[in-house]
Amino acid sequence: MSDRPPSYQATYQVAYQVTIGAPDRDALPRLWQTLEARATPNFFLSWQWVDAWLTTFNPGCRLVQIQCESQLVGLALLTCNEEIRHRILRSRVLRLGRTGNAVQDQIWIEYNGLLLDRQHEHSAPAALLQYLLRQNDWDEFELGASDKAVLSRYAHPDCAAITRWSAPAYGVNLAALRAAKTDYLASLSRNTRYQINRSRKLYAADATLTFSAHSTPDAILNLWPQLADLHRARWGNAPGQSGFANPDFVRFHQHLIRNGSADDRVELCTLSRNDELLGCLYNFLYKGRVYFYLSGLRAETDPHLKPGLLLHAMAIQHYLERHYDYYDFMGGEARYKQSLGSQHCELQLVSFQRPRLKLKLEQLARRIKHLTPDTQSTDDHQQ
């Protein structure tokens, strides 16, 4: 990737200068956090997440910087590796905040993209792609998972946008509930409310039911083995199944917990019946938004016992009372997300492909044979 810093007039009549070079790891934290303060809230583009990614994986990445009138307005960490598909197709793929290594990328970033000054979030993405198209050492620019509306800002007529993964994202508007002076349960359908209340009564019939929120590193890490056991029991203990079977995944999140908890950005919500743990929710808290990342829930043989529904309902009420603005279930078509929230966007993982013959033939073959893209499942972060 060339470090040549061309300037040009974008279609939005804003002059941007894009440079790509080796990151200065000593200067990067201050640089990133200064721009982060002027950016639209997103935990996956926060320094906490980026620092954990850099520390855990030490990826060979380049730093993208976008300036407007000598002011820094955009940052990203860009990787490039050769991907082999169908045994014979070789493609040089650029990615933001991901490595292309399935084991490392199991941490599953969402709402991906450039870290942007909020005044430039609509125009700067096109400036990056226009810059990249001046280089000839890549075939695909893969971006995601991200909001479909955000991805459209990167579109360029010289690149085909190929959707590799998509899923709706659900959530609960806590600010709207608070403004309406409505409890969370009262906002749900009669059937969902009934299932939650029935579960609560059954669990509490002859025991004490306790909801807790743990925010210190020691408290979260003390519960970590139990969360891991519950998660592996649900998703499996083989490579590519539960993230807790992946040492890189575990190391990443342990780093995130030790550093993010200090700023009250990581929290573990638990539900216990007497001393028996029924479930855990692993959440990220950032600028008024709660990101539900994954859960560990006890498997019940009684279909009337729904620890997940109950724990989410109690957690959402907890965050409503703590004056958070939004509870985000993020991507995935799980039925409980539809029951507990409403869709707020569509997430997609998109590959912007240059007009290479090999890529055109690949897409033609997929259309003819109705092949499924080689992507991750709609619940890839294994909630």
Q: Residue-wise pLDDT tens for the chain (383 aa)?
A: 544 433 333 444 579 999 999 999 999 999 999 999 999 979 999 999 999 999 999 999 999 999 999 999 999 999 999 999 988 999 999 999 999 999 999 999 999 999 999 999 999 999 999 999 999 999 999 998 999 999 999 999 999 999 999 999 999 999 999 999 999 999 999 999 999 999 999 999 999 999 999 999 999 999 999 999 999 999 999 988 999 999 999 999 999 999 866 678 999 999 999 989 999 999 999 999 999 999 999 999 999 999 999 999 999 999 999 999 999 999 999 999 999 999 999 999 999 999 999 998 888 888 887 655 554 444 445 67
Positive or negative, the Cα torsion across 249, 214, 41, 316? positive
For 259, phi then psi, to 5°, come to -95, -40
Q: According to the model, what pLDDT value does residue 369 have?
A: 75
Count CB neighbours of 186 within 10 A.
Answer: 10
Question: CB–CB of 312/294 below 8 Å?
Answer: no
- Written as one letter, the residue type at 128 is L
> Of the candidates 268, 240, 236, which has an alpha carbon nearest to the alpha carbon of residue 254?
268
In the prediction, which pLDDT does 368 show? 84
Q: Cα separations (Å) of 103 from 4, 42, 79, 225, 252?
A: 33, 23, 15, 20, 12
Give the CA angle between residues 351, 354, 359 to the nearest 5°: 75
The pTM of this model reads: 0.92
Identity (one letter) of the amino acid at 81? N
Residue with tokens 């010289």: 158
In sequence order, the β-bridge partners of residue 343 are 170
Token pair listed for 80: 């490039």
For the chain, the C-alpha Rg in angstroms (whole number) is: 22
Residue-range domains of the chain with CATH: 7-159+354-369 (3.40.630), 170-344 (3.40.630.30)
| Nearest CA-CA partner of 319 in 173, 170, 198 | 173
Length of the chain: 383
Distance between CA atoms of 130 and 140, rounded to whole angstroms?
13
